[in-house]
Amino acid sequence: MGQDTRASSPGIDQIRNFEGQYPPQIWSLFFTEMWERFCFYGMRGMLTVFMVSQLGLTDKAANLQYGAIQAFVYAFTFIGGLFADKVLGFRRSLYWGALLMMIGGYVVALAPKEFFYIGTCFSIIGTGFFKPNISTMVGQLYHENDPRRDAGFGLFYAGINLGALLGGILMVYVGKYHSWSLAFALVGVVMTISLVNFHITRKKLGPIGQSPLPAAWPARKKRLWEYAVYLGSLVVLPLILVMVRNTRYTDLFMYVIGPLTLLYLLWEMRRFSRPENLKLLAALIFIVFSIFFWAFFEQSGGSLSLFALNNLRHSLWGIPIDPNVVNNSSNSLFVIALSAPFGLLWVWLSRRGLEPNAVIKFGLGFLLLGAAFYTFYATIFFADSDGMTSLEIFTLAYFIITLGELCLSPIGLSLMTRLSPQPIQGLMMGMWFLASAYGQYVAGLLGAGMSVAREDASNLEKLHSYTQGYQQLGLYALMAGVFLILISPWVKKLMQGGRASGA
């Protein structure tokens, strides 16, 4: 599935010895990922609104359900990365994931209320096979210590957010004001575009993403292993359906998958040298802190989505607009405008010996995250007696949170490929997204905790409950940022394999 011949394909050194700021192959991955993120963020923006307005869930139940679905999406990126490393290769994994996502979108479109959970399970597995592997391929376009890597991931991150912007605006608008069936059908249509783009441009990637199975194996044996992965991913669909529909099973799953993942990583680490394992330890520190970052940041799909639904005025600087469209798209719009300049800023500072190390960048990300949540909290000072408040202040908070995201997320993708030995890069990228799974899971718990328990609660009560929660999140984010900056010298030494100085 999706494997191409190597005729007329460039070699790996030819790819990595590119001139200029970006490798030409990055555009193939840019547009492939852009359309997939259209689907993912469009779906994410619709989840809680759809569940509250169409499935009749309470705010608390919708927050928990949102956290469960998103947790499983990101948890399966670890599994997808593992099977790509060991069996499929990044390309076949991408093809299979795209196909499952297409099926998921069309299944929900047939009957959104009846088939919502079934189609969502296809999307969960599909995203797991697709997402970590395309990010890993971006990292493989660069030599290990190429200073242009962060700028490349910054550009790639702009592609992610261009898709998120289009999906965030279009899918929730189509669903709320026209047809939920059509909104979900867009997933299938757009994933087809993504897959066609990758298929047309795949030869430019040369050997990147090819099958990891031993070349000496007969073709029949390779096919059996690959088909076993395809079949296994379909067999687990009923199990995933049970766990997604009953959020109490999410607790058990999250308690198990994390420790098992760490044990497996420890087993893999026996193969590597001490400097390589110290770098992996540094990667784990970034992964742990990213859990807390995403737990706060991902209120955007849960509590902030319901906050936009119930508590924001439908006007932005005098322009009539649906607050959910702003909630789903403003972050992406700001990322598109700022990600490439951010990436180039790091390169410019690096050339002058002034670039902050990755731990400092993470710390800055948390400080800005804290400032953003204090701004979300400040919306309470602009509210009327009906609990309706300023969409302008809400949008300002998203501008600040985007600055924090740009200090952390694209740098994190780059770090996973830089700090990981090549044989387990897919695994480590999967662990990065598994951390996002835990973040999504905690985000759902936090959102449910901030929601008002009574179904007949007024908008004013909801406003007070959510803004008090955002104030607390702001404080915790500031504390984490200060701590990261304080430990940055120690973590930097780990990143250098234990040396006191070096690259």
- Total domains present in the chain: 1
Assigned domain for 445 exists: yes
Closest CA to 209 of 57, 315, 103, 94: 94
Question: What pLDDT, on a 0 to 100 scale, did the predictor assign at position 455?
Answer: 66
Query: Residue 423 pLDDT more than 80?
Result: no
Query: Residue 85 pLDDT more than 60?
Result: yes
Q: Between the CA of residue 176 and those of 47, 67, 162, what are the distances in Å?
A: 12, 21, 21
What distance in Å separates the CA atoms of residue 6 and residue 26, rounded to the nearest whole number? 19
Summarize the confidence of residues 418-430 as an average pLDDT: 76
Contact 422, 347 (CB under 8 A): no
Query: Which is higher by pLDDT, 360 or 414?
Result: 360
Assigned domain for 212 exists: yes
Q: pLDDT band for position 99 (50/70/90)?
A: very high
What distance in Å separates the CA atoms of residue 106 and residue 500, rounded to the nearest whole number? 54
What distance in Å separates the CA atoms of residue 123 and residue 37, rounded to the nearest whole number? 12
What distance in Å separates the CA atoms of residue 303 and residue 61, rounded to the nearest whole number? 11
Span of 1-5, 85-89, 422-426 with lowest mean pLDDT: 1-5
Assigned domain for 2 exists: no
CATH number at residue 370: 1.20.1250.20
Tell me: the pLDDT tens digits for 187-200? 889 888 888 888 88
SS3 category, 437: helix
What distance in Å separates the CA atoms of residue 418 and residue 87, rounded to the nearest whole number? 22
The 8-class DSSP code of residue 355 comes to P
Average pLDDT, the chain: 83
Domain coverage including residue 483: 22-495
Question: What pLDDT, on a 0 to 100 scale, did the predictor assign at position 110?
Answer: 92
Contact 64, 445 (CB under 8 A): yes
Q: Which residues pair with 320 in a beta bridge?
A: 315
Tell me: the pLDDT tens digits for 270-299? 888 888 888 888 888 888 888 889 889 888
Tell me: the pLDDT tens digits for 113-145? 889 999 999 998 998 888 767 777 887 888 877
Residue 168 tokens, joined: 């965030």
Give the per-residue SS3 of 373-416: HHHHHHHHHHCCCCCCECHHHHHHHHHHHHHHHHHHHHHHHHHH
- Determine which helix (DSSP H) or strand (DSSP E) holds 367, and give its type and residue range: helix 358-378
Assigned domain for 253 exists: yes
Query: Residue 497 pLDDT more than 70?
Result: no
Question: What pLDDT, on a 0 to 100 scale, did the predictor assign at position 501?
Answer: 40
Query: Residue 374 pLDDT more than 90?
Result: yes
Question: What pLDDT, on a 0 to 100 scale, did the predictor assign at position 7?
Answer: 47
Residue 15 tokens, joined: 């790819």
pTM (two decimals) = 0.73
Assigned domain for 15 exists: no
Question: What pLDDT, on a 0 to 100 scale, did the predictor assign at position 350?
Answer: 79
Assigned domain for 225 exists: yes
Contact 14, 206 (CB under 8 A): yes
Assigned domain for 8 exists: no
Question: What pLDDT, on a 0 to 100 scale, did the predictor assign at position 259?
Answer: 85
Task: Say which residues have a Cβ less than 8 Å from residue 464's Cβ, sequence separation at least 6.
Answer: 380
Summarize the confidence of residues 240-247 as an average pLDDT: 83
Assigned domain for 42 exists: yes
What distance in Å separates the CA atoms of residue 322 and residue 327, rounded to the nearest whole number? 9
